[in-house]
Amino acid sequence: MRHLLKALLLSLIVPMAAQAAEDSANPTKLKIGLLPGESAPTVMRLNEPLRAYLEKALSMPVEMSVGANYAATSEALRFGRIDIAYLGPVTYILQSRKVQLEPFARPSHAVVGPTFQAVVIVPADSTAQTLKDLKGKEVAFGDPASTSGTWVPRYMLADAGLVSGRDYTLRVLGAHDAVALAVAGKKVAAGGLSGPVYERLLKEGKIDSKAVRVLSYSPAIPEYMWVFREGLSPEMKEKIRKAFIGVTDPEALKVFRAESFIPAVDSDVDRVRNWISTIERDHPEDAVVKAK
């Protein structure tokens, strides 16, 4: 009787598991994860045209969510709670140390192609003329896993000979707009953030252009990448890939300041791996802390 019950249970469980795997490989609703570079309502509003485009192009419901922090978005991708995510190079690299991720598209811009820059800004009347002048000061950064909001500005300072904790105090504020506001309000001596976000905040009047100035621009940073979670079927991935590469709607591309999306591969972010190594050389614990 016991063997009969086991056989009966297996006959029920195996088809259910197979169906669950099939549903996971070919979801009927596409779940997109976005990073909280700014407040969640702002991120959702700016990305709504893309969501609407994808819903039409894929002929399926498309749902967006914004993680509580960068790690939350990448962990949701890792555990299959979302299907694709828009990850910065650092977030992608650190998460890829734990799970197989597949980048498939990235924005490309006029003149500079698939790159952008970070900036370190200071109050307009700051006496600082170079990054070296920030020695002994408090410098604000965004999310600990942010490429342009933390890692690249820290690399810029390290390249100038300044190491956090030794030469300057690192203050984590969580988002690009929070950093800009802190600098404009003279609550910190300087701050690192995304150059495109900084320009948009100025354009929208969120920060006073007379209150801040750029102290230094970063080298060109490989653009953020759209990334698949593990487990999607090849057919589903190809359908999503084609939808992104085929975007021509100016409104859907606007938040990315992009002319188009182009294919992305892992090696696109090799330059950032070298920058990460520079930071980890001085702070090896960051490799563990920021990847959580």
Output 136 or 284, whichever has higher pLDDT: 136
If asked whether residues 139 and 216 sit together in one domain, one would say yes
Is residue 10's pLDDT more than 60?
no
Q: What is d(CA 133, CA 38) in angstroms, rounded to the nearest whole number?
A: 28
What local confidence, expressed as pLDDT, does residue 23 receive? Answer: 64
If asked whether residues 142 and 278 sit together in one domain, one would say yes
Q: What is the pTM of this model?
A: 0.85
**Cα–Cα distance list, 8 to 1, 42, 87 (Å):** 10, 52, 45
If asked whether residues 143 and 207 sit together in one domain, one would say yes
Is residue 12's pLDDT more than 90?
no
The model's pLDDT over 182-222, given as tens digits with 9 standing for 90+, comes to 999 999 999 999 999 999 999 999 999 999 999 999 999 99
The model's pLDDT over 143-170, given as tens digits with 9 standing for 90+, comes to 999 999 999 999 999 999 999 999 999 9
Confidence of residue 284 (pLDDT cuts 50, 70, 90): low
If asked whether residues 174 and 278 sit together in one domain, one would say yes
If asked whether residues 136 and 211 sit together in one domain, one would say yes
If asked whether residues 149 and 256 sit together in one domain, one would say no
Angle among Cα 168, 172, 176 to the nearest 5 degrees reads: 110
Within a domain: residue 20? no
If asked whether residues 58 and 200 sit together in one domain, one would say no
Is residue 292's pLDDT more than 80?
no
Within a domain: residue 192? yes
The model's pLDDT over 222-246, given as tens digits with 9 standing for 90+, comes to 999 999 999 999 999 999 999 999 9
Handedness of CA 151, 156, 159, 163 (dihedral sign): negative
The model's pLDDT over 262-283, given as tens digits with 9 standing for 90+, comes to 999 999 999 999 999 988 887 7
Within a domain: residue 174? yes
Which among 204, 39, 195, 207 is positioned nearest to 123, based on CA atoms?
Answer: 207
The model's pLDDT over 78-108, given as tens digits with 9 standing for 90+, comes to 999 999 999 999 999 999 998 889 999 999 9
Output 21 or 95, whichever has higher pLDDT: 95
If asked whether residues 42 and 184 sit together in one domain, one would say no
What local confidence, expressed as pLDDT, does residue 159 receive? Answer: 94
Within a domain: residue 15? no
Within a domain: residue 2? no
If asked whether residues 167 and 52 sit together in one domain, one would say no
The model's pLDDT over 111-134, given as tens digits with 9 standing for 90+, comes to 999 999 999 999 999 999 999 999
Is residue 252's pLDDT more than 60?
yes
Within a domain: residue 3? no
Under 8 Å between Cβ of 261 and 107:
yes
What domain range includes position 157? Answer: 115-221+274-286
* CATH number reported for the structural domain that contains residue 147 in this entry: 3.40.190.10
If asked whether residues 33 and 75 sit together in one domain, one would say yes
Q: Which H or E run contains 59?
A: none
Count of domains observed in the chain: 2
If asked whether residues 178 and 281 sit together in one domain, one would say yes
What local confidence, expressed as pLDDT, does residue 281 receive? Answer: 83
What local confidence, expressed as pLDDT, does residue 278 receive? Answer: 87
Q: What is d(CA 114, CA 106) in angstroms, rounded to the nearest whole number?
A: 7
Within a domain: residue 166? yes
Burial class (CB in 10 A: 0-12, 13-18, 19+), 93: buried
Within a domain: residue 239? yes
Is residue 39's pLDDT more than 80?
yes
Is residue 72's pLDDT more than 90?
yes
Confidence of residue 287 (pLDDT cuts 50, 70, 90): very low
Q: What is d(CA 18, CA 24) in angstroms, rounded to the nearest whole number?
A: 10
